[in-house]
């Protein structure tokens, strides 16, 4: 069964802290994505990666960075957390080929920045 | 850039009533996907539409892709309490552009 896991379901951090959100998929997918979900705004793409050590900016990359050292793992980094980064963060993955374009999501991390 | 709008933002129906959510893209799409997110859960893929004018059914759910490949709809016949959740469309622009999610429609079904 396809599985995407995220390191924490809930996280509380203070303004200015460096925050790491980890995502692991066991499906050997090439593509991985980080979204944030806010009420009324849907899912907005922060960064994505289509291969190890590759990364591309999404629609709202400011204040975030990412790391993909291994195929199965995609990390989202908040260099200096701010209160406007309080949100639900969702990781997703999908394969590069095979016809189906669906994304498989992890359970999400609800981050609160105080 | 590409934008995908969804209406309504929220709908509350009585069990047994029908429900429709509409999705509109600012640009022509190569495909459109629909996801369902249960309360407290994560988005789960429902279906993908690729062809102009395509209609697909999954039990009580009917999905349509517009002729111009810029809009789509999801219709649920005779809603049940298990249909509660937020429904998202997601469109991919022509030329392998990234997937853009709509703002979602939150459905509440009262027994």
Comparing CB atoms, the residue among A40, A58, A106 nearest residue B42 is A106
Mean pLDDT is lowest, of A27-41, A74-88, B71-85, for: A27-41
pLDDT for A2 equals 67
Q: How many domains does chain A have?
A: 1
In this prediction, residue A98 carries a pLDDT of: 63
CA distance A44 to A59: 7
Query: Which residue is it, tokens 């429609």?
Result: B105
CA distance A16 to chain B (A): 28
Average pLDDT of A71-77? 97
Q: Is the pLDDT of residue A101 over 90?
A: no
Residues B6-52: tens digit of each pLDDT: 999 999 999 999 999 999 999 999 999 999 999 999 999 999 999 99
Given the candidates 3.40.50.300, 2.60.120.10, 1.10.3720.10, 2.60.40.10, the CATH classification of the domain at B4-110 is: 2.60.40.10
Domain boundaries, given as residue ranges, for chain B: 4-110
- Given an 8 Å threshold on Cβ–Cβ distance, is A44 in contact with B98? no
State the pLDDT at residue B1: 75
Domain containing residue A101: 4-113
Answer yes or no: do B42 and A90 touch at CB < 8 A. yes
Question: For B82, phi and psi rounded to 5 degrees?
Answer: -70, -10
Neighbouring C-alpha atoms within 13 Å toward the C-beta of A75: 11
Residues B63/B57, Cβ–Cβ less than 8 Å: yes
Tell me whether strands A56-57 and A109-113 are parallel, antiparallel or unpaired: unpaired
pLDDT at A99 over 70: no
What pLDDT was estimated at residue A104? 95
């Amino acid at each position: 069964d396809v599985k995407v896991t995220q390191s924490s379901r809930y996280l509380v951090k203070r303004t200015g802290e460096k925050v790491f959100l980890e995502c692991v998929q066991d499906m050997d997918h090439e593509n991985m994505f980080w979204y944030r979900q806010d009420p009324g705004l849907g899912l907005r793409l922060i960064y994505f990666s289509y291969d190890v050590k590759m990364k591309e900016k999404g629609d709202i990359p400011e204040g975030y960075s990412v790391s993909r050292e291994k195929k199965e793992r995609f990390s989202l980094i908040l260099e200096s957390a701010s209160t406007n980064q309080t949100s639900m963060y969702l990781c997703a993955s999908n394969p590069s080929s095979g016809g189906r374009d669906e994304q498989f999501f992890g359970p999400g991390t609800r981050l609160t920045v105080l | 850039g590409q934008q995908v709008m969804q209406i309504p933002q929220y709908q509350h129906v009585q069990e047994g009533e029908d429900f429709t959510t509409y999705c509109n893209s600012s640009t022509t799409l190569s495909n459109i996907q629909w996801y369902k997110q249960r309360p407290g859960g994560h988005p789960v893929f429902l279906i993908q539409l690729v062809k102009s004018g395509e209609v697909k059914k999954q039990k009580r759910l009917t999905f349509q892709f517009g002729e111009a490949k810029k809009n789509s709809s999801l219709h649920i016949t005779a809603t049940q309490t298990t249909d509660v959740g937020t429904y998202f469309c997601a469109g991919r622009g022509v030329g392998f552009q990234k997937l853009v999610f709509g703002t979602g429609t939150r459905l509440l079904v009262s027994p």
